[in-house]
Amino acid sequence: MNVFDLDLTESQRMMREACRKFVDDTITPFVLKNWKNEWNMTPEERLPNSILQEADSLGIRTLGVPEEFGGMSLEKEHEVRTFAIISEEIARGDSGLADKLVQNWKVSVLLRAQANKEHQENWFTKLMENPNFLFAHALTEPKGASDRWLGYNALEAAMDTKAKKVDGGWVINGRKHYISNGYDASLYIIYANTNPSVGMMDGTSSFIVPRDTKGFNVARCNETVGCRYMNNGELELIDCFVPDSHLLKSDTALSQAGIYFRPGKIIQAAKNLGVGQAALEKTAEFVQTYSRGGKLLIKHQIVASRLADMATKVSAVRGLVMQAAKAVDQNTADSDALCNMAKVFASEEILKVCQHAMELHGGMGAMLDAGIEKLVRDASIFLHMDATVDISHFKIVKALWPENAGKYAGPE
């Protein structure tokens, strides 16, 4: 037991134990036995439906869905910390699966806060009824991604995807890429410029777009280096008509999306943490089992030093993640800075942990069927998931010193 366990509620302990058993009994054995599945270039065949169905039976596919629509009741004052705890456990088994699941949680939080009751009842019901139903949040475009989230209100940063008002609704044209769950999702939240005469924070709207909407097309699956059990997608909208009722948030969608992104940073950092915990556990077992030079690996000083560094980094990341999660739960003044700090710190330190794991496994660390190189691949892409490290640094400075922080683009 670590010090953070003392703050867990009984509900959080029970959920964590159920997830841990799911990972140990189902996910980890599947990933190790079927390591070739990850490289199947037919995305639909990588992860069997049974995995999502089992996740669904535990209630962890639909965290964030209101209880009135069949979701699991979460303690509101601890919700983000619960997200973090479950994210870490699932990512300990596979970060791609974790990413697949957490998109549902984050979009559920957004719909819960911004969608009308009719949409909530419709889409939450569909989500609950179909274990393979997934949500996706589509913001990133070929010409702009995390840099748009610095909060500057420059015309130059406006969305390339445009939505034009027509009789009875909107016509959307544009392209989105690098979208988590983009290849598989059944429902998408699409961001588009609805007022090109003002800055992006005042002229960007969000829309509810079902997969079968005419003019909406899933163009391709992006083949990533890591997290490959989540199928990242590229989307195109060509004269895509959505009715007025599918306008989720008018004009101020970006400035009001913190409800999605603050918990998202915590969840991202917690997924990193899960990968680091897996690397630490596998490496600790390996160096205490294998001998070189007549003694256990752990008894070699250089090995012991690296292992100690891994354990220290994992503990430090966990400390910052839980501090940031508590700040977001309580909506404290420093929550913006802390959630970005947690995201950056986790992505950088966990990559180092995984590099140590590969080194300490020697040649075995590079073998595809051993499972260690996979952790390195997964950790390597965390540096730019949910914003790049450099852009996150800008956000931290802006959150801490808003009056004097430099502006990244647009006129002073």
Instruction: Print pLDDT tens along the chain (412 aa).
Output: 565 666 788 989 999 999 999 999 999 999 999 999 999 999 999 999 999 999 999 999 999 999 999 988 788 889 999 999 999 999 999 999 999 999 999 999 999 999 999 999 999 999 999 999 999 999 999 987 776 655 566 777 788 999 999 999 999 999 999 999 999 999 999 999 999 898 888 899 999 999 999 999 999 999 999 999 999 999 999 999 999 999 999 999 988 877 888 999 999 999 999 999 999 999 999 999 999 889 999 999 999 999 999 999 999 999 999 999 999 999 999 999 999 999 999 999 999 999 999 999 999 999 999 899 999 999 999 998 888 888 899 889 989 998 887 766 555 5
Q: Are residues 117 and 156 in the same domain?
A: no
- CA torsion 244→110→336→252, rounded to 10°? 10
- 28 is a domain residue: yes
Q: Are residues 141 and 117 in the same domain?
A: no
- 351 is a domain residue: yes
Domain total in the chain: 3
Q: Are residues 124 and 142 in the same domain?
A: no
Q: Indicate the residue among 100, 134, 168 that finishes a domain.
A: 134
Record the pTM.
Answer: 0.93
Q: Are residues 118 and 173 in the same domain?
A: no
CATH number of the domain residue 149 falls in: 2.40.110.10
Query: What's the pLDDT at 315?
Result: 97
Q: Indicate the residue among 249, 277, 311 that finishes a domain.
A: 249
Q: Which domain holds residue 110?
A: 3-134
List, in sequence order, every residue forming a beta bridge with 274; answer none if it has no partner. none
Q: Are residues 145 and 108 in the same domain?
A: no
- 406 is a domain residue: no
CATH number of the domain residue 81 falls in: 1.10.540.10
Q: Are residues 201 and 270 in the same domain?
A: no
Query: What's the pLDDT at 188?
Result: 98
Q: What angle do CA 293, 297, 303 make, to 5 degrees?
A: 115
Q: Are residues 372 and 283 in the same domain?
A: yes
| Residue 290 CB-density burial (10 A; 0-12 exposed, 13-18 middle, 19+ buried) | middle
In sequence order, the 6+-apart residues with CB closer than 8 A to the CB of 14 are none
CATH number of the domain residue 390 falls in: 1.20.140.10
